[in-house]
């Protein structure tokens, strides 16, 4: 049987391949994005294998991935000078402490618990908005700016994820048509954002000659 959800999730391969090909040519500030996409591809494949061939929940894989995602995105925004070293370290500490508390101390590593995910999504949305506000004052043609395109994708994706996590948590206790629609649409939203990230990856500027 054709797994549409898995096929849609594989659209992450598109921006990954673009960055894989261009990795040695693009500005070093974008390297965390490459590793984020590489981690995402690995997580999708591992999750598919666990669920389809071993009939095991992918909760542990997903929970580890969202921690890596949050930290890599903090590094990306630090490289983009959206946040300084002190702020990035503080935010990293908050994310790691929140993840450990929720998944290890409260022993929810085997569950899809929403609290860390919502906090991480909120942080990423705020940093993306901050980056866009900085670009508005610096750039004239935003539609050809890789950071602008990537941040638009982040905002749409992570705002939807916040809604998704809230709806999913409620649907566990009481199912509804609205919850089913939000949950079912996630795969399509995620696929669309992966295509946007592909455009952003293509627009990433090349290294200048004096970059190391």
CA distance 99 to 24: 33
Q: Which stretches in the chain have pLDDT values below 50? A: 212
Are 124 and 158 in contact, with CB atoms under 8 Å apart? yes
Dihedral over alpha carbons 58, 46, 38, 10 (to 10 degrees): -90
* Ordered DSSP codes for 34-49: HHHHHHHHHHHHHHHH
pLDDT, residue 2, reads 62
Task: Give CA separation, 62 vs 16, 57, 82, 185, in Å.
Answer: 19, 9, 27, 19
pLDDT, residue 173, reads 79
φ and ψ at residue 110, rounded to 5 degrees: -90, 5
H or E element in which residue 117 lies = helix 115-138
pLDDT, residue 88, reads 98
pLDDT, residue 212, reads 47
pLDDT, residue 209, reads 62
pLDDT, residue 74, reads 98
């Amino acid at each position: 049987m054709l797994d549409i959800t898995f096929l849609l999730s594989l659209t992450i391969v598109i921006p990954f391949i673009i960055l894989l090909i261009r990795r040695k040519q693009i500005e070093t500030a974008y390297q965390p994005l490459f590793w984020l996409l590489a981690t995402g591809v690995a997580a999708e494949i591992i999750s598919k294998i666990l669920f389809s061939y071993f009939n095991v929940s992918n909760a542990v894989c997903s929970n580890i991935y969202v921690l890596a995602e949050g930290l890599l995105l903090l590094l990306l925004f630090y490289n983009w000078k959206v946040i300084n070293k002190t702020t990035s370290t503080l935010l990293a500490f908050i994310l790691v402490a929140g993840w450990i508390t929720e998944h290890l101390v409260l022993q929810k590593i085997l569950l899809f618990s929403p609290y860390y995910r919502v906090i991480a999504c909120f942080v990423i949305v705020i940093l993306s908005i901050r980056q866009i506000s900085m670009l508005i004052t610096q750039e004239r043609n935003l539609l050809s700016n890789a950071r602008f395109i990537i941040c638009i994708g982040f905002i749409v994706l992570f705002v939807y994820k916040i809604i998704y996590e809230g709806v999913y948590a409620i649907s566990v206790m009481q199912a509804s048509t609205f919850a089913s629609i939000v949950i079912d649409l996630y795969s399509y939203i995620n696929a669309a954002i992966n295509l946007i990230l592909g455009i952003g990856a293509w627009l990433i500027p090349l290294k200048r000659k004096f970059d190391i």
